Amino acid sequence: MSTPTSNKLQQPKWVKVKTLAPCQTYIDVIVKVYKTRHLLTQKRSDNTSKEYSEALVGDETGCLILTLCDDDIKLAQEGAVLEIINAKIEMAKFYMRLVVDKWGKIRPSTRTISHVNLSNNLSNVEFELVDKTDENSASAE
């Protein structure tokens, strides 16, 4: 007879913004909202709509753009500190965006972040896709 496995939730492992990298997943980060911007309202065929916004968020180590949808937009007021759990980095035209999908969560935090380091904006860094097979064939010659 097998013993039942426990389905305990893991505690978030908080990371700093400066450690984020392209295509990273399972990100738990605490950030302060510096600035928000409404992108668009998408009308659907069933007469409902979906709101999209972006927020420049960060901590003392850096900042980047967070993509927001619907209810999460209300949480992301300028100056608010948020706990972002199980987020991921998506690339938009070679630039990083922090995204919270249906498996992630955004919630208000009681922690304080004194300032957002705007000089290290990870969303302003352009990343280049490198083909590893070309590197290997060039070094073999």
Domain of 50 in residue numbering reads as 14-124
Task: Report the pLDDT value the prediction gives residue 109, as an integer from 0 to 100.
Answer: 95
Task: Report the pLDDT value the prediction gives residue 141, as an integer from 0 to 100.
Answer: 53
- The mean-pLDDT minimum among 15-19, 30-34, 131-135 falls in 131-135
**Vertex 67, ends 65 and 68: CA angle to 5°?**
135
Task: Report the pLDDT value the prediction gives residue 129, as an integer from 0 to 100.
Answer: 75
Domain membership of residue 82 (yes or no) is: yes
Domain membership of residue 87 (yes or no) is: yes
Domain membership of residue 132 (yes or no) is: no
pLDDT > 70? residue 136: no
DSSP E strands: which ranges in the chain? 14-15, 27-43, 49-59, 62-69, 81-92, 95-99, 105-108
At residue 17 the predicted structure's pLDDT band, cuts being 50, 70 and 90, is very high
Q: Is the pTM of this model over 0.85?
A: no
Domain at 58, CATH number = 2.40.50.140
Q: pLDDT by residue (tens digit) across 59-78?
A: 999 999 999 998 899 999 99
Q: pLDDT by residue (tens digit) across 91-135?
A: 999 999 999 998 999 999 999 999 999 999 999 999 887 777 755
At residue 81 the predicted structure's pLDDT band, cuts being 50, 70 and 90, is very high
Domain membership of residue 4 (yes or no) is: no
Give first-to-last CA distance, the chain, whole Å: 59
Domain membership of residue 85 (yes or no) is: yes
pLDDT > 60? residue 139: no
Domain membership of residue 49 (yes or no) is: yes
Task: Report the pLDDT value the prediction gives residue 70, as an integer from 0 to 100.
Answer: 87
What backbone torsions phi and psi does residue 136 show, to the nearest 5 degrees?
Answer: -65, -40
Domain membership of residue 2 (yes or no) is: no
Domain count for the chain: 1
Task: Report the pLDDT value the prediction gives residue 107, as an integer from 0 to 100.
Answer: 95
Domain membership of residue 95 (yes or no) is: yes
